[in-house]
Structure 1
Amino acid sequence: MKEYVIGFQHVGIPTKDMEASTKFYEAIGFDVMYETIDESNGAKVKFFKQKDLVFEVYESTDVTMTTGSIDHISIDVTDVEKVYEEINKMGMNNLNDEIHFLPFFEKGVRYFIIEGPNKEKIEFNQYV
């Protein structure tokens, strides 16, 4: 697995109020690096960046509004298919997820998600 991991990709944070989230993250020094609409559900999605720290903030009706409401952490990988194969070999695809594509950024991203031992979601992400 180590040969495929490039580094940290982003933290996924659901929001009920994109305007308030945008004002907050911009006030603490983040810039909007990318924004789109998730065509599967019509939700607004924004990626905020400050240096090498990236937050993906997306609209959701399932926001808990409690401590611990971060949805997932994402890891950059060089080859999402190879990582998917390794995760399956180790029996760690406990969500039975498949590789997905989203038309985010210039050419899109491919990713899949597993669940860690504390119910945390780990996303393996590759820019296309």
Structure 2
Amino acid sequence: MKELYKGLGHVAIYTADMEESIAFYEKIGGSVYKRDGVATPTGEKKLALVEFGGFLLELIEPPAGELVPAGEGSIPHFAVYVDDLDKAAAAIKEAGVISFMTPEKKVLPDTFGGLQNWFFTGPSGEQIELLQML
């Protein structure tokens, strides 16, 4: 069945502030691909697709005053493959991101054949993993 799959479509992230989230992802190298909205009984749900790291993020801002709908699940984090973790982290820090979750990267030589990673957070608390396989 795997031949039916073409790859990752997008990762959906709820945001409390669409403009803040778009600005954040643009600051670290993303770009808006499309924007849209969906009418709901409580108001418009704002949507944006942001190209980032070779895939799309779907940013979702619920109507004003509405919380994330119960039962929609959560995503602990998403990972972006990088060729050079140190260089990628330095560029993100240079862009003004100060939300790295640890002072240093983790090196895990025995996990999945060896990897190093470093997590930081986006404006809505989403965790983003920079991941380099060794």
TM-score (norm 1): 0.46
Quick check: which has more Rg, 1 or 2? Answer: 2
Q: TM-score, normalised by structure 2?
A: 0.44
**Bigger relative contact order, structure 1 or 2, given CA contacts below 8 A and separation 6+?**
1
Q: Which structure has greater strand proportion?
A: 1
